[in-house]
Amino acid sequence: MLSLVIDGFEFCRQKENRAGRFAVSDLPRLAEETADRSGDIGWNAEGSVLASGHPRIKLSVSGAIGLICQRCLTSYEFRLDSGSTIVLARSEEGVDELESFLDDDSIDVIAGDTPINLAELIEDEILLALPVSPKHEQCPSTQALDKLKNAGKRSPFAVLKDLKREK
Ligand SMILES: [Zn+2]
């Protein structure tokens, strides 16, 4: 497990900005979801403080991941480009309260009083951005197969009719 531990409150107060790349193979939960554990993901974490005084971390991730298409079971490249906003509560007890105060489903609230492993947050972010049921927009192998199937479904008479019409 990669470890990139920060003090969340400090990170936001100092308006720190960190960026890097993680190999897919170094993120075990993600690697399990991929076709071949190859590739890497670029990430960026930016600390700031909301007008309300709450510390905020903005995360973004991007890269290409090889996933297995659920339709044809071959691999395809999924383009990842996602981001999220995380606001820190004073403690675990304050998470629910802050969530209802912010009243914004696009914001995640976590406790900031214990050290935060950025690597884990980044992996969470990537996992949430993956398609639930990954599929090619158009599967390369079934495309040819479908054509054959459809051609086979037509009766010889229908084909003859078409031929006559074309004359
Ligand atoms: Zn496919």
138 CA distance to ligand 1 centroid (A)? 6
The 10s digit of each residue's pLDDT in 58-81 is 999 999 999 999 999 999 999 999
Indicate whether 147 pLDDT > 70. Answer: no
CA–centroid distance, 78 to ligand 1, in Å, is: 12
Sheet holding 75-89, edge to edge: 17-23, 40-49, 55-68, 75-89, 107-111
Under DSSP, the state recorded for 7 is -
Confidence grade of residue 142 (pLDDT, cut at 50, 70, 90): low
Ligand 1 centre and the CA of 40: distance in Å?
22
Residue 119: the pLDDT is: 94
- How close is the Cα of 129 to the center of ligand 1, in Å? 19
pLDDT digit string (tens) for 28-38? 999 999 999 99
Cα of 152 vs centre of ligand 1, distance in Å, is 22
Separation CA 58–CA 61 (nearest Å) = 10
> What is the whole-number distance in angstroms between the Cα of residue 154 and the centre of ligand 1?
25
Going from the Cα of 147 to the center of ligand 1, the distance in angstroms, rounded, reads 15
